Amino acid sequence: MKRFLIQRFLQLIPVLIIMTFIVFSLVYVAGDPVALMLPEEATAEDVARVQESLGLNEPFHVQYGIFLMNAVQGDFGQSYRYNQDAMSIVLERLPATFELAAASMIFATLIAIPMGIWSATRRNTFIDLFITGSSVLGKAMPNFWLGIMFILILAVNTQLFPVSGRGTFMHVVLPAITLGTAVAAEMTRLTRSNMIEILQQDFVRTAKAKGVSNGIVTYKHSFRNALIPVVTIMALQTSTLVGGAIVTEQVFAWPGIGQLLVQAVNARDMAIVQAAVFLIAILVIVINLFADILYRLLDPRIKY
């Protein structure tokens, strides 16, 4: 286990370096933000002056070198828009996005796993058709559309939920469902196909031959096995989830990293973009690492 962990951590280093390089290059090509920083009336001289003060006139490799050196120390530069350390601004937003993502994941899991099992055990019935149908539909609707609909119907017209913002539990419901729907759809489909495969396994027949109840067959013997690949998918979905959060946060005025990022990209506040992308990438990697470990714990066949 220790060796495995160390190995995995060592593998992270080149991944992170390549990642920062890609992001930094993009940011570099994107050009500097100075034009955006100044009012419409600013002159070319103003632009040049600010450029120099921000060190934006250095050549690429020098800028990247400086960036990397600082990044190692957790310093991703100053956000020109907020005049503040970029990473601290991103970290400030992390809890909101984390809350949203976690709620969506919980929602998706609570929906997807029972639904997937249900439809797998009732294969080719109406219920199965309905569940697979809705899961395809869940994937087929752009989530901002879903979100706006939810707001119109469930928040404005019927006032069951707050319209937007972050605060109470009720605030997180609509955004979490909006964001979680696509993930739930994907997970339902996956759980179903895994369950179908597992239900055809010999050991399920063995269990049935022992005379144990359907519940034990389904939830103990089959589910545990079906869960193993689902864990991996859940981890892979974190990336999708964060991507979806960018849109969902916008719709629900949810003050998370997603909104911050969209604004930072639009304003070319690249220190923030870099810090946020870096943080998200690390999170995604770490979550996948956890999933890997969990995978190993769930499946006794894998040895370290």
Partner 1 sequence: MSNGKELLNVNQLQTHFFTENGAIPSVNGVSFQVNKGELVAIVGESGSGKSVTSLSIMGLVEEPGKIVGGEIMFEDKDLAKYTNKQMRKIRGNDIAMIFQEPLTSLNPVFTIGNQLREAILQHQNVDKATAKKMSIDMLTQVGIPRADKVYSSFPHSLSGGMRQRVMIAMALSCNPKLLIADEPTTALDVTIQAQILELMKDLVKKMDTAIILITHDLGVVAELVDRVIVMYAGQVVEQSDVFSLFKDPKHPYTKGLLDSTPKIQDLNEELISIKGTVPTPANMPDGCKFHPRCPHAMDHCISNEPKLDTLENGREVRCWLYDEEVMADEQSKNGNEQSP
Partner 2 sequence: MKMTLKRSVGGFSALSLAFLVACGGNEENNNTTNVADPEDTNDNAAEETNNNAAGNEDNTEAEAEELLEDSTLVLAMGTDMVSWDIHDHGNTSTEAVHVNVFDYLFKRDSETMEVEPHLVADYENIEDDVWEFTLHDDIYFHNGDQMTAEDVKFTFDRVIEDDTLSEHSRFVQLGEIEVVDDLTVRMNTDGPQPSLLNRLAGTGASILPKEYIEENGMDHFLSEPIGSGPYEFDEWARDDRVVLTKFDDYFLGDDFTEWEEVVFRAIPETSTRVGELLTGNAHVVTDIPPNEWSRIDDNDGTRHINADSNREMLIITRQTEGVATSDPRVVEAIDLAIDNEAITEQVMQGSGTPTRTRVTPGNVGANEDLYDTFVYDQDRARELLAEAGYEDGLEITMQSPQGRYLMDSDIAEVIVGMLSEVGITVDLQFLEWSQFIEHYQNNTNEELMLLGLASSLFDAAQNLDHYTTTSPLNEGRMDYSNEEVDELFEAALVNMDPDEREQQYQRIQEILAEERPHIYLHSINMNYGVSDLVDYEPRQDELYYANEITRR
Partner 3 sequence: MSQQVTPEPVPEPQGPAAPDSMKKHQKKSSFVRWMKLLLKSKTGTVGFLIVMVVFIVGIFSDQIAPFGVNEQNYANMLVPPAWQEGGSSEHFLGTDNLGRDILSRIIYGTTISLLVGIFSVVVAGILGMAAGLFAGYYGGWIDTVTMRMVDAFLSIPNILFILVILTVLNPGIMTLIFAIGVTNWVIYARLIRGEVLSVKEREYVKAARSIGTKNLTIIRRHVLPNVFSTFIVISTLSVATTIILEASLSFLGMGVQPPDVSWGYMLADGRDYLATNWWLATFPGLAITITVLGIIFLGDWLRDVLDPRSQGR
Residue 122: how many CB atoms within 10 A of its CB? Answer: 14
- CB of 155 closer than 8 Å to CB of 234: no
Q: Which of the ranges 44-52, 63-71, 237-245, 291-299 carries the binding residues for partner 2, by CB under 8 A?
A: 44-52
Report in angstroms how near the CB of residue 167 gets to partner 1 at its nearest.
Answer: 41
- List residues binding partner 3 (CB under 8 A): 11, 14-16, 18-19, 22-23, 26-27, 29-31, 123, 136-137, 139-145, 148-149, 152, 156, 192-193, 196-197, 239-240, 242-244, 246-247, 250, 261-262, 265-266, 268, 273, 277, 280-282, 284-285
Q: Is 79 helix (H, G, I), strand (E, B) or coil?
A: strand
- What are the start-end ranges of the H helices in 122-201? 126-140, 143-150, 169-199
Distance CA 139, CA 146 (A): 11
Residue 85 main-chain phi, psi, to 5 deg: -60, 125
Q: At what angle do helices 169-199 and 86-121 cross, to 10 degrees?
A: 50
23: helix, strand or coil:
helix
Q: Which does 136 bind (CB under 5 to 8 A by kind): partner 3, partner 2, partner 1, none?
A: partner 3
Tell me the per-residue interface mask from 94 to 133 with partner 1, x by CB under 8 A, - otherwise: -----------------------------x----------
Judged by beta carbon distances under 5 to 8 A according to partner kind, the member of partner 3, partner 2, partner 1, none in contact with residue 11 is partner 3
Q: Which is nearer to partner 1, 28 or 295 (CB)?
A: 295
Regarding 60 and contact with partner 1 (CB under 8 A), the answer is no
The residues in 67-126 that bind partner 2, with binding defined as CB under 8 A, are 81-84, 89, 92-93, 96, 107, 110-111, 114-115, 118
Cα→Cα distances 110→79, 102, 113, 182, 185, Å? 39, 12, 6, 14, 12
- How far apart are CB 289 and partner 1 at their closest, in Å? 21
Minimum CB–partner distance for residue 88 and partner 3 (Å)? 20
Closest CA to 132 of 121, 119, 142, 118: 119
Q: How far apart are the first and last CA of the chain?
A: 6
**Within 13 Å and on the Cβ side, how many CA atoms surround 5?**
6
Please identify which residue in 5, 213, 219, 263 interacts with partner 1, judged by CB under 8 A: 213
Is residue 142 close enough to count as binding partner 2 by CB under 8 A? no
Spatial distance between the Cα atoms of 63 and 235, rounded to a whole number of angstroms: 34
- Give the integer Cα–Cα distance in Å for 262 and 272: 10
Q: Residue 57 binds which one of partner 2, partner 1, partner 3, none, with CB within 5 to 8 A depending on kind?
A: none
Asked if 138 is part of the footprint of partner 2 (rule: CB under 8 A), the reply reads: yes
Task: Show the tokens assigned to 51.
Answer: 């450029």
**Residue ranges in contact with partner 2 by CB under 8 A:** 31, 33, 35-47, 49-50, 53, 81-84, 89, 92-93, 96, 107, 110-111, 114-115, 118, 130-131, 134, 137-138, 141, 146, 148-153, 155-159, 162-166, 177, 181, 184, 250-253, 255, 259-260, 263, 266-268
